[in-house]
């Protein structure tokens, strides 16, 4: 199995060997359950504030999630790493996590599909189902737990 590495702000994450979940916790994986594990690449803001910004990588997609932990709302910006073009903004969305935020990916012919952020109790989940650069990616992962009100 070939490991791919992602480097952002001096942090290296083994794309197929480590799954970083939650808002700061790390769990090692023996084998990747999905074709593209979701990795937290960078925590932009300190964990002590009510607004936190996180960057997630799933296959060629890089998603920035800005989360208001008290209002249970978020905004997302999605980028695709496209060969010969580099990092291209696919789009953005915002809304309430209690209702769910669905983002439709449409950067034909490179990326097509859906990402959805939602809450199960206080747990933030990401559902993704998309085709990118000739490969299919699908999964549903718990990203972390919000603090109680």
Could you report the per-residue pLDDT of 15-45, keeping only the tens digit for each? Answer: 322 333 344 433 333 333 344 556 555 555 5
**Encoded tokens for 94:** 């915002």
Domain coordinates in residue numbering, the chain: 5-145
pLDDT of residue 20: 36
Ordered DSSP codes for 110-133? TEEEEEEEEEETTEEEEEEEEEET
Confidence class for position 83, pLDDT limits 50, 70, 90: confident
CA–CA distance, 61 with 38 (Å, rounded to integer): 10
Residue 44 DSSP one-character state:
-
Average pLDDT over residues 91-116: 90
Q: What is the pLDDT of residues 61-79, one digit of tens each?
A: 999 989 888 888 899 999 9
Report d(CA 66, CA 106) in Å as an integer: 21
Contact of 59 with 34, CB cutoff 8 Å:
no
Alpha-carbon distance values, 6 to 15, 118, 122, 131 (Å): 7, 25, 29, 20
In this predicted structure, the answer to whether residue 98 has a pLDDT above a threshold of 60 is yes
Q: How far apart are alpha carbons 101 and 78 in whole angstroms? A: 13
Q: Per the structure block, which two tokens stand in for 126? A: 């990401």
End-to-end distance of the chain based on CA atoms, in angstroms?
43
Q: What is the pLDDT of residue 118?
A: 93
Q: What is the pLDDT of residue 96?
A: 93
Task: Identify the residue whose tokens are 């983002």.
Answer: 103
The answer on pLDDT for 12 being more than 50 is: no
Q: What does each C-alpha distance from 104 to 50, 96, 144 come to in angstroms?
A: 27, 16, 22
């Amino acid at each position: 199995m070939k490991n791919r590495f992602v480097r952002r702000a001096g942090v290296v994450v083994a794309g197929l060997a480590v799954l970083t979940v939650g808002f700061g916790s790390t769990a090692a994986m023996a084998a990747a359950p999905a074709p593209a594990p979701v990795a937290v690449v960078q925590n932009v803001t300190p964990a002590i504030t009510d607004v936190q910004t996180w960057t997630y990588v799933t296959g060629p997609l890089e998603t920035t999630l800005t989360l208001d932990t008290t209002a249970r709302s978020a905004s997302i910006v999605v980028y695709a790493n496209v060969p010969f073009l580099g990092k291209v903004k696919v789009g953005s969305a915002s809304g309430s996590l209690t209702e769910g935020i669905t983002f439709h990916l449409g950067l034909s012919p490179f990326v097509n599909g859906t990402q959805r952020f939602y809450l199960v109790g206080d747990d933030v989940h990401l559902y993704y189902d998309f085709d990118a650069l000739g490969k299919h990616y699908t999964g549903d992962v718990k990203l972390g737990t919000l603090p109680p009100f």
